[in-house]
Amino acid sequence: MKRKLLIIFSLGWLLNPVFGQDILYTITAEKINCRITEITETSVFYTINKTQSDSISINLVYLIQYANGLVEKLNTLEEPVTNRTNSKKIYVSKTPYSISLNTLAFFNSDITFLGERHLKNSAFTLGFLASYNFNTRTSWPNLWLSLLTKSKKQYDIGSYFLFKPGGGNPKYRASGFIGCMVKYTAFTFEAEKQTTVYTSGFPQVISRGFEKRNGSLLAIMFSMGYDVQLSKTCFFRNLLSFGGFKVKDNYAKEISREIGRNEGRLINDPARINYLPKLYIGLCIGWQF
């Protein structure tokens, strides 16, 4: 090997014009314009601009093209670094969209879809949530709604962003994430119609039946969880979001009255509820496309 390299180098040196320029190509497709000065079994020595001397391991040299046209191939060409980087992020850069179904929501008669857009070559994901409830009455998973009289959850809509350290590199089958979710819930309930009458100068609250009213809540939650890649296009997600929301309007009045009743308060002395906690859990199966 050494003799062969020395013979080729000697031929190139003799046939090369005094001011000729050689071209050295590395295995990563880097091109170096230089003048080859020496080739050994381990290194290739060269100069740039006649003054700057340097060397490179012979294992990193793909081929040398001498100024006289002679070409010597020393190694095979590696895949470019940029291609290797993209291949490690295949689930982020080549499949930017995904949709998932929250299977846990079925226990609440919800059908819930989550759609996402993975920002290319980034650790961030933007998503939206849409849910419709088929229950005629709100069930126990919606604690703060089930306390109301004849309440019915209508739908949820929301948006969220997630941060995956490392950009969700598929080199690891499971990847954790953190983020934030904003979720709006619409519902209906029946509120008690009350009238205050005065008897002998003292106020007295009288109930006159119920009437249907609309309510809503807007919750802001911190999210965390992890994804497990089941295949190139299918994944499983465990999601936990927790936070709170401000009660307002008719809902604030009615939920304060119901909680006050549970605490043994008088009807004209309801609890003062301003904020309530909110929890959202997801066990999702998703597909990327």
The two counts, helices (H) then strands (E), for the chain are 5, 14
Higher pLDDT, 266 or 248: 248
Q: How far is CA 116 from the centre of its chain?
A: 8
The CATH classification number of 87-288 equals 2.40.160.20
Q: Give the E-state strand segments of the chain in sequence order.
A: 22-26, 31-39, 43-48, 52-57, 61-65, 71-73, 97-102, 110-118, 124-133, 149-163, 174-199, 202-229, 234-246, 275-288
Residues 112 and 285: beta-carbon distance below 8 Å = no
Report the run of H or E that residue 208 belongs to, with start and end: strand 202-229
Q: Which residues contact 30 (CB under 8 A, 6 or more apart)?
A: none
Domain boundaries, the chain: 2-78, 87-288
Give 2-78's CATH code, choosing from 1.10.8.80, 2.40.100.10, 2.30.30.100, 3.30.460.10: 2.30.30.100
Q: What is the DSSP letter of 150?
A: E
Model pLDDT for residues 272-287, shown as the tens digit of each residue: 788 999 999 999 999 9
Query: To which residue do tokens 């993975």 refer?
Result: 118
pTM (2 decimals)? 0.62
Mean predicted confidence (pLDDT) in 118-141: 88
- Is residue 89 predicted with pLDDT exceeding 60? no
Which amino acid is residue 285, in one-letter code? I
The number of residues making up the chain comes to 289
Query: To which residue do tokens 């990327």 refer?
Result: 288
Q: What is the pLDDT of residue 177?
A: 93
Closest CA to 184 of 148, 162, 214, 146: 214
Mean predicted confidence (pLDDT) in 253-258: 83
